[in-house]
Amino acid sequence: MRILTLILAAILTMAATPPVPDALKPYIKGDRFDPGDYGWMKGRFADASPKEKAQAAAIQAWVMACYASDLAEMRAELRALGITDPKMNNTIIRNPLCAQVASAPDVTHWRTFDAFQRSVEKAAPLADTYLLAVNTAKASSGSRTSDLHDLLVARPVAEQMLRYAMDWGGGDMADAPRVSDDVRAVILSRISIIAAVEDHRNGEWLKSLIAEKGWPKQSEVGEAGAAAAWLLAQHADADPALQLRVLRAMEPLLATGEVAKDNYAYLYDRIMLKITGKQRYGTQAMCAEGKRTAQPLEDSGSVDLRRAEVGLPPLANYIAMMDAHSGSCSAPS
């Protein structure tokens, strides 16, 4: 065990994240990133000066180094949990600061920085108002007791509001103010920055909870409390080792009814797609050639049997429900 620990430490040391680029430092306070005037993005536009382009390149290199560092760390943690060859499909940046910077808008919406700034001016009041509502809801819903059920139920409120907002203009956010695509891109970027912080904090909180009390059982925290704990784990995508530990903690509790079977199925698919590239229950979908379909399956022939075992409808019905809610996938242009 000591040898394994030393090897893990060496890997993590070699993959250390480089220092924050100078151009970003004015926008960083502790673990929080405020895009501010977006001056750090000037180098991404065609009309940028050589100096601005060099700054943008340094920021991009820093973000990529963050991702490489995080990926090495995730692989090492999963190997320590017995996963010999983690595929690490669709992984996201773990470092919360890097994740916030990486949430910047895609500049393909604009030809110049000035045009981008005009979109920012239109988007900022909408984004700031929504984020204020998120903070207000989080504060007002916070548990006033130390009861674990209450703490768990209150915890996902903010991250759920932030995730709803990612459908701005459609789905559950169909009534959001109508905006152009470029303004929507800025709004979603601002929301994604806060979501990265919220997910990181929730994951750290959940890890501390499990270390102290173990996985919350339905008999201990009720169905709502257990579902909230699962939701935090389901969205801890930047920490696949945590998701795997939760999955393993949930598995022996299935037979006793202490965890919901469908919750287990969703988390199984989410983590296994990352580390093996395949899912069992078909809960994770994708768009392919203009059609929504399940991501790769362990056994397509038995998927509906597996789904029935955990109380899920047949896969075809599930895909149809997703299409009805979110709209059919657009055919590639």
> What does pLDDT average to in each consecutive run of 10 residues of the chain (333 residues)?
40 63 95 95 96 97 96 97 95 95 96 97 98 96 90 97 96 94 98 97 97 96 98 97 98 96 98 97 95 97 98 97 86 47
Residue type at 278 in one-letter notation? K
Short-list 36, 1, 31, 35, CA closest to 17:
31
- What are the distances in angstroms from CA 164 to CA 161, 169, 171, 192, 270? 5, 10, 9, 11, 19
Length of the chain: 333
Q: What letter does residue 36 receive in the DSSP assignment?
A: T
* Measured distance CA(27)–CA(48) in Å, rounded: 20
User: Residue 7: what pLDDT?
Assistant: 42
Q: What letter does residue 100 receive in the DSSP assignment?
A: H
User: Residue 70: what pLDDT?
Assistant: 96
What's the token pair of residue 168? Answer: 């701005």
User: Residue 2: what pLDDT?
Assistant: 39
User: Residue 275: what pLDDT?
Assistant: 96
Q: What letter does residue 259 receive in the DSSP assignment?
A: S
User: Residue 79: what pLDDT?
Assistant: 98
Q: What is the pTM of this model?
A: 0.91
